[in-house]
Each structure stands twice: as structure tokens, then as C-alpha cells.
A = this chain, B = another copy of it.
Amino acid sequence: MSNRKHNFCAGPCTLPVSVLEEMRDEFIDYHGAGLSLIEMSHRAEEYDAVHQEARRLALEVFRAPEDFDVLFIQGGAILQFAMVAMNLLPPGRRAGYVNTGTWAKGAIADARHYGEIYTAWDGAADGYTRTPEDSEIEVKDGTRYLHITSNETIGGIRFPKFPAVDVPLVADMSSELMARTIPWDRFDLVYGGVQKNLGPAGMAMVFIRKSVATPASESLARYLRYDVHLDKESLFNTPPMFTIAMVGKVLKWMKAKGGLDVIEREAAEKAAILYRRIDESGGFYACPVHPASRSHMNAVFRLPNEGLEARFLADARSADLLNLKGHRSVGGCRASIYNAMPRASVEALADFMQRFRAEHS
């Protein structure tokens, strides 16, 4: 499509055009069935094929080992903040939370109602501009899991390496879910909303080590139990069929591109284009994040003053470069460059940054 704009939104976010076109073309009459996929029973043969393929591809593309399964659960990553503790944290144990910023704080705020939680590291002293070294993380006795936010969408920081600690990791990977390879042996659970790298809003994906799915308490509603979703292959109740169908198509697109290694390398390259433009701007653009912790998904930067930032955002918009405003809680600018963001769009932004600086510095 000729009218397509460059969408740097932090989420929901840009999706592959080919996937959008495929969904549009089959939207009303699904492969000659005489009805839309979204009008079908979730027990229908046609939908079941879509559902099972999405599950299979999620495990395959993310290279999850055999002792893991994937769950599709509504409520976004936010509901997982609670479910992780409800299911994984029994009385008498505790869980460490690495506080790297806005989303880590959210995880702590919700988990604390369902078990003993402590802060294993806090980035407050550095203004949440970096992730910790392993040696800085305090893991207390009796810790069931260490929770990390692998990428902070608002702060624009990420863990360049996953912590090597003596307890299992649980990670909120929402903004870099399936954008990088992970050392599965260190993890019990990985979760994230799909509305950044994988599809439209409407569910979280939870990759869970099957042996830990039995909930810490029997006194838990069925929708909130991982074992229920696991046993029913995410068909315990009517699933968000449209979102799952879209995620399946995006996963197929990822696989055709060459899978996770290619995705991860492209992400590093796309991010490098922007950080280079920032670092070589003689201070016109400034990224507050420690270089080693810079996100490959969300590049945050400031301009010399708020007036120039406003001008930058307005001019960018006129150049069809959309949604570059930083989160309202921190201001500044942010370019979110998830899996489906074409390299050409990143280059268009880098060119624009060059021109804008030449005009205004």
C-alpha cells in the first residue's frame, strides 16, 4: 500500500503488511467456509487448526525446549503480574523482584498481594537508566524465583545478558518477547503481552516450565490457574480467536524471515542505526541510558529543550514518522522498533534526525 506510514508506537505497534492483507482477504469468508473465522466455534475444525498452529509456531520460533508449553491468556502482562505470584509462590517461600523501572514496579505492586516479595535490586539511585550486574542482585534464602523485566519500554533499558543466579528466573518480556534468544534452562516462566512484537492487543503469551504449573494454592479461580490453561491447551474457555489467528500469521512471517536469530540480529542492527545517529550528533540528541543497557526495542532520546522536542515531533509527523513521543511519565522522544518495523523505516527516521539537526543545531 502506498499510503503506509512509519509507525514507531510503543504498543500496539506496526505489524507486517503482508499479515494485515492476508487477514483482510479472508476476513469475511474464511477459506470458503461461508463465515468469518471470528464467527466460528472455538471447537470448530478450522479454528482448531489455527489455534494449534499458533501454539506450535510459538514454541518452535522461540526455540522453547520440550519441558515448556505456551499458554494464551487474556488480561495482558498486567494480569500475569498477579498470576505469577498466585501460582508460583507458596506460603513460606519468597520471591525477589529486580526493580528496573515502571513495569517492574507494576509487577511488584500486584504480586505483593499474593506472597512475600522483596526487592532484589533497585535502580532508583541511577534514575532507572541501567540494569544491574549479577553481583548487585541480592537473592535471599528461601527465594522461589527472581523476577526481572527484561526490557523496560518506558525507560528504554534492557538486560544485555540474563542474570545467572541460583534460583529460577521469571521474566516479563512484553516489549522484547520473541525478539531475542534466551537461556531456557535458567527460566521457569516467561510472559508478555503480544501487542508489540507479535500481534494486536488482547492477550499475553506465557511460556511455562510444565513441571511448575501446579498452583501454590488450591484456592484459586480456574481462569487464574496455569494448570487449567495448560491442560486445555488454552481452550479452557473461548479464547481471543482473532488475536491468536493474527499472532499465528506473524509467527509464520517470522519463521519465513529466518527465525529468531535473524530477528535478533536485525533488531540489534536497527537499534544501532538510531543510537549511532544519537551518539554522533554532538550532543544534539542525547540518550540517558547507560550504553550497555540500551534497549534494542525502544530507543529513548532527548533534544536540547522541550521546544525543540515539540518541533521535532511535529515535523516528524509531517514526514509520516508517527508516534515518536516519549511516554507521558518521562517526556522526550522514543522510537519503538519492534520485530515488524522495516529497516527502511528506521533509516527514514535516521535521515530525518540528520536533517532536523542540520536545520536546528
Binding site for B on A (CB under 8 A): 1, 3-5, 7, 9-15, 17, 20-21, 23-24, 27-29, 32-36, 38-42, 44, 74-79, 81-82, 106, 109-111, 113-114, 193, 195, 200-203, 219-224, 236-243, 246, 320, 322-323
CB distance from A113 to the nearest CB of B (A): 5
Is chain A's interface secondary structure helix, strand, loop, or mixed overall? loop
With contact pairs A39-B9, A82-B221 given, residues A200 and B320 touching in the complex (Cβ less than 8 Å): no
Q: What is the bound-complex CA distance between A193 and B41, given in angstroms?
A: 14
The residue from B24, B201, B219, B238 contacting A42, defined by CB atoms under 8 A apart: B201
Task: Given A12-B41, A12-B238, A82-B224, output 13 extra A-B contacts at Cβ < 8 Å.
Answer: A1-B29, A7-B34, A7-B40, A20-B36, A24-B24, A24-B27, A77-B237, A78-B236, A110-B221, A111-B221, A114-B221, A202-B203, A242-B243
Q: What is the bound-complex CA distance between A11 and B44, given in angstroms?
A: 11
The residue from B11, B40, B221 contacting A12, defined by CB atoms under 8 A apart: B40
B residues less than 8 Å from A32 (CB atoms): 3
CB distance from A112 to the nearest CB of B (A): 9
Q: What is the bound-complex CA distance between A150 and B175, given in angstroms?
A: 41
CB distance from A15 to the nearest CB of B (A): 6
Copies in the complex: 2
With contact pairs A12-B42, A82-B224 given, residues A7 and B24 touching in the complex (Cβ less than 8 Å): no
When the two chains form their complex, are residues A41 and B202 in contact, meaning their CB atoms are under 8 A apart? no
CB distance from A201 to the nearest CB of B (A): 4
B residues less than 8 Å from A17 (CB atoms): 28
The residue from B82, B200, B221, B240 contacting A81, defined by CB atoms under 8 A apart: B221
When the two chains form their complex, are residues A39 and B27 in contact, meaning their CB atoms are under 8 A apart? no
A-B contact pairs, 11 of them (CB 8 A): A15-B39, A34-B320, A34-B322, A75-B79, A77-B237, A78-B237, A81-B223, A82-B223, A201-B239, A202-B242, A242-B243
B residues less than 8 Å from A221 (CB atoms): 79, 81-82, 110-111, 113-114
When the two chains form their complex, are residues B28 and A27 in contact, meaning their CB atoms are under 8 A apart? no
Chain B residue nearest in CB terms to A221:
B82
When the two chains form their complex, are residues A202 and B243 in contact, meaning their CB atoms are under 8 A apart? yes
B residues less than 8 Å from A29 (CB atoms): 1, 3-4
B residues less than 8 Å from A238 (CB atoms): 11-12, 76, 193, 195, 201
Q: What is the bound-complex CA distance between A29 and B320, given in angstroms?
A: 14
Q: What is the bound-complex CA distance between A241 and B10, given in angstroms?
A: 15
B residues less than 8 Å from A36 (CB atoms): 15, 20
Q: What is the bound-complex CA distance between A238 and B193, given in angstroms?
A: 9
With contact pairs A28-B17, A41-B323 given, residues A76 and B76 touching in the complex (Cβ less than 8 Å): no
Q: What is the bound-complex CA distance between A1 and B33, given in angstroms?
A: 12
CB distance from A4 to the nearest CB of B (A): 6
CB distance from A11 to the nearest CB of B (A): 7
